[in-house]
Structure 1
Amino acid sequence: MFQSLRRPDALVITLAAAGILMVTMGIRQSFGLFISPMNASTGMGIATISLALAIGQFTWGAIQPIAGAVADRYGARSVLIGGLVILAAGCTLTPFISNGFGLAVSLGLLASIGSGAGSFSVLIGAGSQRLPAESRGAASGVINAGGSFGQFVFAPVTQGLIQAVGWMGAMWALAVAALATLPLVGKVAGAKSAPRPQHTDSNDLGLRNAVGSAMKDRSYLLLHAGFFTCGFHIAFIVTHLPGEVDLCGLPPSVASWSLAIIGLANILGSLYAGSWVSKYRSKYVLSAMYGSRAVLIAWYLMMPSTSWTFYLFAAGLGFTWLATVPPTAAIVGKLFGTRYLATLFGMTLLSHQIGGFLGAWLGGIAIYQFGDFGWMWYADIALALMAAIVNLPIREAPVARPALGTS
């Protein structure tokens, strides 16, 4: 599956990028575990805290094309270093906050800007520009799996820290973890003195024209529509799964282990997604993933509310959780090349996080207005079916098959 990563330099770049994403995504995906203890400590209210996290969902997406554009022009090193430092600053400040506005700044802006700058668009973009073409699909799968492994590790560890040292101590521990990741930046971005590669492609019309051309491309816009749904699902579940578990009368550990299982299952899903994009059209891979989510959520709603229902639901959903990233990035690369991949994929991630903002925010409104998340689950099913359909018309050439007798 990963023969293309046998070169030592390719493997080092890929694993370092996966390590950074493990930390930035692991931290970010654990914030939902803080809602209940933070509310009990500050009295801010679940709706207020949910709004701050919803702002964070949008901010994380909004920073992606900006960070990608800076990385495309000046290199990824400064972007990644700045992101990790800002993420640590947001986590450090949060325990000192006692109102919604401050929380929107610390978690909604700072932590989200930091984690976004050290996330998919910059890491996959930097890796794609330093790796040979035959390694990019597998590398994107491994990098993506790093983010899933982060969720698997950070969710139960963070829950344990909250119970052992309180939510404030746990938040400070996350800040330390972000700073501890800084040594990996050099492995991904190269030496500090390395000049930015000069591109001499006669078809390179510049970043502004590349963006303008992409936004007129029907396939690119359809890709955005499907990825919007992915963001809605993920943000709603990662933010409000602890609340759903509490409504079912189950202990908080069920939520943390469910999030961990999602991350563990997505490691496998991401690795397979990275290999699938070299064998099948990515649009079909995406359509199958989104369609499976509609079926799985419908199954969850029909099952009894037990811990094993949550664990099985988490395992099934986790297989496609962020495994949508490799085929989505692959389509962007096929449509427009890798020169501005960090920027153009970053814009796709922005649409993902517009959906994420609505998923996190509307989930808070649903529990406040109706006392449960019923309508949100129905919306998840409808959006998943929509996403499965809109990916099918995307313009994508058939995958080239190797000639018989070649490897």
Structure 2
Amino acid sequence: MQVLACGAAIVTLSMGIRHGFGLWLQPITQAQGWTRETFAFALAIQNLSWGLFGIFAGMAADRFGAFRVLLVGAVLYAFGLMGMALSSTPLLFSLTAGVLIGAAQAGTTYAVIYGVIGRQIPAERRSWAMGVAAAAGSFGQFLMVPVEGWLISGFGWQQALLVLAAAALLIMPLSLYLREPGFGTGAAQHREQTIVQALREAFGYRSFQLLMAGYFVCGFQVVFIGVHMPSYLKDHGLSPQVASYALALIGLFNVFGTYAAGVLGQRLAKRHILAFIYLARAVVILVFLWAPLTPMSVYVFSAVMGVLWLSTVPPTNAVVAQIFGVAHLSMLGGFVFFSHQIGSFMGVWLGGLLYDRTGSYDVVWYIAIALGVFAALINLPVRESAIRRGPQRVAASA
């Protein structure tokens, strides 16, 4: 339970910080004289960087243990937030808020933490434990987003980022409790497959490809909403407090959604859970766009969307562990998450680009709806049973 508690605390802090970045869109663009596309592009780079570095962070965590990766990630997070506060040009902002923070998130969030959980928690409780960790990330959003809004209003956007930079360093002492036996001690780690063999096997397996495609949609939807909804609401005359409360409600209700998804993953077919989540998102977004926009409609949308927000994470990662085992779980989870982050890149960047071109977010909202239906359909054929892997098969993949 110590591993689960500390892993959940790290995810709470890391995800809590990043979920509030949308609150900085208008203060930074207005202070620097930048377009929304400039800010959106930097956060798009952040999501892409997170996904790309997540692959290597996962490899490193599988090989050397999560502890060292978390230490590096915490330092990068602090420097990235400082750079985000002090950057004076779009290029520097993209390098710090984009590349640096993305790399930091790769080393302090799900791929690394889920690798520890997968190796330390028995298989019969794994889906539940992943649900707890995902719920912690959601609680971080509920906890941190109002705090970040308060910091911005009380101290200014630059000082608020510097406070968060100091807070990110708390990941370092928490990571001490995620040191795994045998990692970093010189003891040989048993590997049935090499990295190349594991990758060939996974990318040649149809269900892995479908999971990656579905996760692309997840990234597109949640990051577009998380970054652009505060500005969407302000454009329609609602106060910044409504946006802060909306993001906090998403985080609060996602605590229940992700935990429920983890529990249900122990009992129901995970592909059915994923198909339901994606289809439900499409319906909820459609109703939100058609209903009159009021603070109450925003809060209802945020609560319902919160239940569906990161609830894809436990079943997706649990399926990967169920199919391929846990020896390379952080790495394979990193590749799946990279697909998620490509979707995140497209969602946040297209949101800024199409807004600047059309003066509206409507096109991106409807793209998100169509993608939700697509993701629901492609998750239905996923096969969840463990892959058959005999000596001949492993040798053939070498």
TM score, norm. by length of structure 2: 0.94
Given candidates 134, 145, 151, the residue that maps to 1:161 is 151
Report 1:199-348 matches (<5 A). Answer: 199-200=189-190, 204-348=192-336
Please tell me whether the aligned partners of residues 115 and 329 of structure 2 are also in contact (alpha carbons under 8 angstroms). yes
Q: What SS class does the counterpart of residue 369 from structure 1 fall into?
A: helix
**Alignment match, 1:117:** 107
Distance of aligned partners of 1:134 and 1:162 in 2 relative to their CA distance in 1, 3 Å threshold: same
Distance in 2 (alpha carbons) for counterparts of 1:369 and 1:197: 57
Q: CA deviation at 1:230?
A: 0.2
1:46 pairs with 2:36: yes
Q: What SS class does the counterpart of residue 149 from structure 2 fall into?
A: helix
**Alignment match, 2:368:** 380
Deviations 1:171-202 (A, max 9, x none): 0111111012321101122479863764446x
Distance in 2 (alpha carbons) for counterparts of 1:248 and 1:193: 53
- Quick one: percent identity of the two aligned structures? 38
Q: CA deviation at 1:369?
A: 0.8
1:83 pairs with 2:73: yes
Distance in 2 (alpha carbons) for counterparts of 1:41 and 1:337: 49
Paired letter, 1:75? G
Distance in 1 (alpha carbons) for counterparts of 2:171 and 2:197: 35
**Alignment match, 2:130:** 140
Please tell me whether the aligned partners of residues 186 and 192 of structure 1 are also in contact (alpha carbons under 8 angstroms). no
**Alignment match, 2:392:** none
Q: CA deviation at 1:78?
A: 0.7
**Alignment match, 1:390:** 378
Distance of aligned partners of 1:191 and 1:217 in 2 relative to their CA distance in 1, 3 Å threshold: closer
Please tell me whether the aligned partners of residues 323 and 385 of structure 2 are also in contact (alpha carbons under 8 angstroms). no
Q: CA deviation at 1:218?
A: 0.6
Paired letter, 2:267? K
Aligned residue pairs, count:
386
Q: CA deviation at 1:205?
A: 2.1
Distance in 2 (alpha carbons) for counterparts of 1:382 and 1:200: 44
1:33 pairs with 2:20: no
Q: What SS class does the counterpart of residue 216 from structure 2 fall into?
A: helix
**Alignment match, 2:357:** 369
1:183 pairs with 2:173: yes
- My pick for the range that moved more, 58-67 or 377-386, is 58-67
Distance in 2 (alpha carbons) for counterparts of 1:129 and 1:114: 22
Paired letter, 1:311? Y
Deviations 1:57-102 (A, max 9, x none): 1111111111000110111111001001100110012221111100
**Alignment match, 2:343:** 355
Please tell me whether the aligned partners of residues 182 and 189 of structure 2 are also in contact (alpha carbons under 8 angstroms). no
TM score, norm. by length of structure 1: 0.92
- My pick for the range that moved more, 159-168 or 58-67, is 58-67
Distance in 2 (alpha carbons) for counterparts of 1:152 and 1:196: 41
Deviations 1:179-236 (A, max 9, x none): 12321101122479863764446xx121111011111111100111111000000110
1:17 pairs with 2:7: yes
Please tell me whether the aligned partners of residues 65 and 180 of structure 2 are also in contact (alpha carbons under 8 angstroms). no
Given candidates 160, 173, 183, the residue that maps to 2:163 is 173
Q: What SS class does the counterpart of residue 169 from structure 2 fall into?
A: helix
Distance in 1 (alpha carbons) for counterparts of 2:7 and 2:181: 15
Q: What SS class does the counterpart of residue 44 from structure 1 fall into?
A: coil
Distance in 2 (alpha carbons) for counterparts of 1:341 and 1:317: 28
Distance in 2 (alpha carbons) for counterparts of 1:72 and 1:193: 9
Please tell me whether the aligned partners of residues 26 and 150 of structure 1 are also in contact (alpha carbons under 8 angstroms). yes
Distance in 1 (alpha carbons) for counterparts of 2:187 and 2:120: 10
Distance of aligned partners of 1:233 and 1:147 in 2 relative to their CA distance in 1, 3 Å threshold: same
Q: CA deviation at 1:243?
A: 1.0
Distance in 2 (alpha carbons) for counterparts of 1:339 and 1:200: 8
Report 1:54-65 matches (<5 A). Answer: 54-65=44-55
Q: CA RMSD in A?
A: 1.5
Distance of aligned partners of 1:54 and 1:144 in 2 relative to their CA distance in 1, 3 Å threshold: same
1:96 pairs with 2:119: no
Please tell me whether the aligned partners of residues 144 and 323 of structure 1 are also in contact (alpha carbons under 8 angstroms). yes
Structure 1: runs of 5+ lacking an equivalent:
1-10, 399-407
Distance in 2 (alpha carbons) for counterparts of 1:46 and 1:381: 23
Distance of aligned partners of 1:393 and 1:258 in 2 relative to their CA distance in 1, 3 Å threshold: same
